[in-house]
Each structure stands twice: as C-alpha cells, then as structure tokens.
Amino acid sequence: MIKTVIRFQNNMVVVFDKRGEQIPEYQGQYEEVKGKILEDAPLSAIFGYLPDYQTELQIVPREEW
C-alpha cells in the first residue's frame, strides 16, 4: 500500500510503502505515473515535493501534487 509519494524537481517520482520500501511499479516520470498513483493511493497517503538542494520534504495536498 502506498504511504509516501515524493516528486523531485526533475519530475521523477518515488513511492514508498509503510515499511519504507520503494514500490517500483509507481515510480517514474510524473506525467506517466501520476494517474495510477492518485487512483491507488489511500486518503492517508502523504504527498510531497523535494526541490533541488533541499533536504526537507515539502508536504502538499494530493490535489496540488
């Protein structure tokens, strides 16, 4: 189950489950994986954005992700 979704400055997306393990089938370029992630992610999933040269994840509402 999807727990955390992170979008990077270069539009790559990385997705983690509740154990912190990556979920490869949801990872890739933002435009290619966005629909499947939004469809499958539970309401409790955390969506974030990690700008270049930043070390802190910026949490955003799923509607803005």
pLDDT digits (tens, 9 = 90+) for 19-48: 999 999 999 999 999 999 999 999 999 999
Cβ neighbours of 41 (radius 10 Å): 20
In a domain, 6, yes or no: yes
Is pTM, for the whole model, over 0.85?
yes
Question: Above 90 in pLDDT, residue 55?
Answer: no
**Strand ranges inside the chain, DSSP E:** 2-8, 12-17, 28-29, 46-50, 58-60
pLDDT value for 63: 94
The whole-number average pLDDT for the span 47-60 is 89
The single-letter code of the amino acid at 6 is I
Residues sharing a CB contact under 8 Å with residue 20, sequence separation 6 or more, in sequence order: none
pLDDT-derived band at 52 (thresholds 50, 70, 90) equals: confident
In a domain, 40, yes or no: yes
Split into its structural domains, the chain has a count of 1
The single-letter code of the amino acid at 42 is P
Q: DSSP assignment, residue 64?
A: T
